[in-house]
Amino acid sequence: MKFPGKRKSKHYFPVSQRDPLALPEPEINEAAGAYIVGIDQTLVDIEARVDDAFLARHGLSVGHSMLVDADAADRLNLELMEQASITHQFAGGTVGNTLHNYSVLADDRSMLLGVMSSSISIGSHAYRYLCNTSSRVDLNYLQGADGAMGRCFTLIGDSGERTFAISPGNMNQLKPECVPEDVVAGASALLITAYLLRCTAYEPIMDATLVAIAYAKKYQVPVVLTLGTQAIIADRPEWWQDFIRENVTILAMNEEEACALTGCTEPLAAADAALAWTDLVICTAGPDGLYMAGYADTGVKRETRHPLLDGALPAFNRHEFSRAMRREACEQPERIYSHIKPYMGGPGKIMNTNGAGDGALAAVLHDIAANVYHRQQLPDSTKHRASFLTYSSLAQVCKYANRVSYQVLNQHSPRLTRGLPEREDSLEEAYWER
Ligand SMILES: Nc1ncnc2c1ncn2[C@@H]1O[C@H](COP(=O)(O)OP(=O)(O)OP(=O)(O)O)[C@@H](O)[C@H]1O
Ligand SMILES: O=c1[nH]cnc2c1ncn2[C@@H]1O[C@H](CO)[C@@H](O)[C@H]1O
Residue 206 lies in a domain: yes
pLDDT one-digit tens code per residue, 160-175:
788 999 999 999 999 9
Residue 50 lies in a domain: no
Query: What's the rounded mean pLDDT across residues 193-220?
Result: 96
Name the residue at shortest CA distance from atom 5 of ligand 2.
Answer: 93
Query: What's the rounded mean pLDDT across residues 34-47?
Result: 97
Question: How many domains are there within the chain?
Answer: 1
The atom of ligand 1 lying closest to the CA of 228 is: 25
Residue 281 lies in a domain: yes
Query: What's the rounded mean pLDDT across residues 3-29?
Result: 51
434: pLDDT confidence band, cut at 50, 70 and 90?
very low
Query: Is the confidence at residue 263, as pLDDT, over 50?
Result: yes
CATH for 205: 3.40.1190.20
267 lines ligand 1 (CB under 6 A): no
259 lines ligand 1 (CB under 6 A): no
pLDDT at residue number 164: 95
How far is it, in rounded angstroms, from Cα 294 to Cα 334?
Answer: 8
The atom of ligand 1 lying closest to the CA of 354 is: 26
Q: What ipTM goes with this model? A: 0.97
Q: Ligand 2 centre from 205 Cα, in Å?
A: 15
Query: What's the rounded mean pLDDT across residues 232-236?
Result: 96
Most trustworthy range by pLDDT among 10-24, 26-40, 61-75, 277-291: 277-291
CA-based nearest residue to 14, from 422, 374, 400, 424: 374
Query: Is the confidence at residue 427, as pLDDT, over 90?
Result: no
How many residues are listed for the chain in this entry? Answer: 434
Name the residue at shortest CA distance from atom 15 of ligand 2.
Answer: 355
Query: Is the confidence at residue 26, as pLDDT, over 80?
Result: no
Query: What's the rounded mean pLDDT across residues 201-214?
Result: 96
Residue 164 lies in a domain: no
Query: What's the rounded mean pLDDT across residues 213-217?
Result: 98
287 lines ligand 1 (CB under 6 A): yes
Query: What's the rounded mean pLDDT across residues 344-372?
Result: 90
Residue 214 lies in a domain: yes
Q: Ligand 1 centre from 125 Cα, in Å?
A: 27
Q: Ligand 2 centre from 307 Cα, in Å?
A: 37
Q: Ligand 2 centre from 169 Cα, in Å?
A: 14
Residue 8 lies in a domain: no
Residue 143 lies in a domain: yes
CA-based nearest residue to 102, from 338, 339, 370: 370
How far is it, in rounded angstroms, from Cα 428 to Cα 424?
Answer: 9
Most trustworthy range by pLDDT among 204-218, 346-360, 401-415: 204-218
* pTM of the predicted model as reported, rounded to 2 decimal places: 0.93
The atom of ligand 2 lying closest to the CA of 97 is: 17
CA-based nearest residue to 402, from 288, 307, 319: 288
Name the residue at shortest CA distance from atom 3 of ligand 1.
Answer: 287
How far is it, in rounded angstroms, from Cα 193 to Cα 175?
Answer: 17
How far is it, in rounded angstroms, from Cα 149 to Cα 120?
Answer: 10
How far is it, in rounded angstroms, from Cα 132 to Cα 91?
Answer: 6
Name the residue at shortest CA distance from atom 29 of ligand 1.
Answer: 289
Query: Is the confidence at residue 432, as pLDDT, over 70?
Result: no
> DSSP class of residue 345?
G
Residue 174 lies in a domain: yes
Q: Which domain holds residue 298?
A: 34-41+94-147+169-433
Query: Is the confidence at residue 300, as pLDDT, over 50?
Result: yes
Which has the minimum average pLDDT: 3-7, 110-114, 429-433? 429-433
